[in-house]
Structure 1
């Protein structure tokens, strides 16, 4: 994997997982917990998320082939899904939905939020799983590059863990306005990456050359 490909993979997963947006949600879901309890919840959520994303990264292409779905078709569909996620981020619908999910768990302190909703759908959501298939699908023929994709995924989850640890001071530093600004900037970046996925899918399906020839 080249340096630019590694950066693209990292940025894609970072924007989709959105560690910065997860930090205040993590605080809400673990309200009243001690630092040790928060650490356990965060580690468990990250372990489950890593397992899900690894599963889709390793076997996602086989699942697609078993269903008769080509990789270019999934790139186009995945790009559309990521674009919808970007729209949610730009218009704050994603934050509102996440806050709604967290409020469902605030009143019951016996609920362990590590698997749901933290691990899925907040960390390893549909967008993240689709991104793993898209990023790993193009490198399925190379074991080394496939490992590199998963190392990038682990680095993003490492960022999530660091932000979980720093969630409280980050929330105080950014405030709600700062978090909204960062979320919208990441949404714009994700929209551009989603468009690139769609273009790659069209190119892989042979549609882009046909469009160029028709001009």
Structure 2
């Protein structure tokens, strides 16, 4: 049981990457109040938990019934993530925020990023869904399944703590440095999105990717 927990914990930590999601969340929620940021962080974790638990229990049956492969899911998630990355790199989000500045002043509502892209595909993305489905498939008995879910729950709590701490830390850097970080993260997100698509294509069509180095 301990070995299964450690294996599941490490797997989820690497794929979800709580420290990596924190600055991305801070960049996507620039202009939000601390209360709005906290609310979006909690909603992102709750939505992610619901999605992942659902796929842990019924994922294989659902995708099989819809004739959807996990590789197709990876490709779709990569495309969605790339759209967000391009907005971060070319400051389209910044321009859109400036255009809506007066509206934001008049109303507390801002763009909610809790469901997309944070919960899906950043946290409960194709990689995480694949991991939870594979770990559950390898588990024998309800005890091992609960161990896998417990490891996932701890990682989600760590992710929530990282998201809540991201805003104050980003404010320390200032607006200019934050803009540079946002663009850099956008490039990283674009590369991650491309990797999702590549993995999906390799799995779906058997495309060989030459090793580097």
CA distance in structure 2 between the aligned counterparts of 1:102 and 1:156, rounded to whole angstroms: 30
CA contact (8 A) 2:88 2:183 kept: yes
Structure 1 equivalent of residue 48 of structure 2: 53
Q: Give the alignment partner of residue 161 of structure 1, picking from 156, 161, 164.
A: 164
Q: How does 1:49-88 map to 2 (within 5 A)?
A: 49-60=44-55, 61=59, 64-88=63-87
Question: Where in structure 2 are there 5+ consecutive unaligned residues?
Answer: 1-7, 136-144
Q: Per-residue deviation at 1:208?
A: 1.2
Q: Give the alignment partner of residue 27 of structure 2, picking from 21, 24, 30.
A: 21
Q: Per-residue deviation at 1:178?
A: 0.6
Q: How does 1:164-183 map to 2 (within 5 A)?
A: 164=167, 166=168, 170-171=170-171, 173-183=172-182
Query: Which 10-residue stretch deviates more, 125-134 or 56-65?
Result: 56-65
Structure 2 equivalent of residue 134 of structure 1: 126
Query: Which 10-residue stretch deviates more, 124-133 or 189-198?
Result: 124-133
Helix, strand or coil: the match of 1:25? coil
Count of residue pairs brought into register by the alignment: 187
Helix, strand or coil: the match of 1:174? coil
202 and 146 in structure 1: CA distance in 2 versus 1, 3 angstrom threshold: farther
Question: Where in structure 1 are there 5+ consecutive unaligned residues?
Answer: 31-37
CA distance in structure 2 between the aligned counterparts of 1:145 and 1:206, rounded to whole angstroms: 31
Per-residue CA deviations over 1:84-140 (Å, capped at 9, x if unaligned) read 2111111111333456567533213xx5x4xx64xxx32331464134141332121
Structure 2 equivalent of residue 35 of structure 1: none
Q: How does 1:143-158 map to 2 (within 5 A)?
A: 143=145, 144-145=147-148, 147-158=150-161
145 and 104 in structure 1: CA distance in 2 versus 1, 3 angstrom threshold: farther
CA distance in structure 2 between the aligned counterparts of 1:153 and 1:94, rounded to whole angstroms: 27
CA distance in structure 1 between the aligned counterparts of 2:103 and 2:51, rounded to whole angstroms: 28
Q: CA RMSD in A?
A: 3.3
Matched, 1:123 2:114: yes
CA contact (8 A) 2:72 2:204 kept: yes
Per-residue CA deviations over 1:40-88 (Å, capped at 9, x if unaligned) read x554433322221212222254654454322110101111111121111
189 and 150 in structure 1: CA distance in 2 versus 1, 3 angstrom threshold: farther
